[in-house]
Chains A and B, each alone.
Chain A
Amino acid sequence: EDKVVQSPLSLVVHEGDTVTLNCSYEVTNFRSLLWYKQEKKAPTFLFMLTSSGIEKKSGRLSSILDKKELSSILNITATQTGDSAIYLCAVVNYGQNFVFGPGTRLSVLP
């Protein structure tokens, strides 16, 4: 059965800290891995990763995929209170089915 695991499930940090969120997967016919940020409403797209070892960056957020280890990390540097959210990892297979992880709940305290 396809599975996506995220760790930690919950994390509390202070503004300015750097955090690393982990996502590992067991999926047949892997195509890509996606990261989303979910605040109050629907998840918003952050990154799509298809190739191993190539870092994607957007401001203070960056992510990289390791296909050998079947995992990905999402880094957030110099965290701000606005980064508080649930971060979802999802894996897509070639059947275009998405499998979501449980999410990491990040709380950034002032």
Chain B
Amino acid sequence: NAGVTQTPKFRILKIGQSMTLQCTQDMNHNYMYWYRQDPGMGLKLIYYSVGAGITDKGEVPNGYNVSRSTTEDFPLRLELAAPSQTSVYFCASYSGGSNYGYTFGSGTRLTVV
């Protein structure tokens, strides 16, 4: 009964490096989302997916890529890290019919130096 699992929890990247933030859910949810939260700001949607094989851009997609080859996994890729990508990243999933809204992962704190 893991819910939404995000890894890693913390990461420091150098400018120009690449990395993948992993997100896995075991609830068979169709909808998955990646958000970033900057200090003092609300969550901003980066990318989302309504099902395996389908992804779409959110509010702030530049500098990121995603894939959804299975229902369970929704990794977020940063190709050329920039200091502006320093943030806390949350992955979330949603069944689409549940009465309980989102289920969030515990977050990844990323610092780009």
A57-B92 Cα distance, complex, nearest whole Å: 25
A102-B41 Cα distance, complex, nearest whole Å: 5
Interface size class of B (residues with CB under 8 A): 20 to 34
Which residues on the A side are within 8 Å of B104 (C-beta)?
42-44
Is the CB of B74 closer than 8 A to any CB of chain A?
A: no
Which residues on the B side are within 8 Å of A92 (C-beta)?
101
Is the CB of B106 closer than 8 A to any CB of chain A?
A: yes
What is the distance, in angstroms, from B65's C-beta to the closest C-beta of chain A?
19
Is the CB of A25 closer than 8 A to any CB of chain B?
A: no
Which residues on the A side are within 8 Å of B41 (C-beta)?
102
Given A34-B101, A34-B102, A45-B102: A102 and B107 interface contact (C-beta under 8 Å): no
A100-B35 Cα distance, complex, nearest whole Å: 10
Q: Chain B residue with minimal CB distance to A103?
A: B42
Q: Chain B residue with minimal CB distance to A33?
A: B101
20 residue pairs from A and B, CB less than 8 Å apart = A4-B42, A32-B101, A34-B102, A42-B105, A42-B107, A43-B43, A44-B104, A48-B101, A88-B43, A90-B43, A90-B101, A92-B101, A96-B50, A96-B94, A97-B48, A97-B58, A98-B45, A101-B42, A102-B40, A102-B41
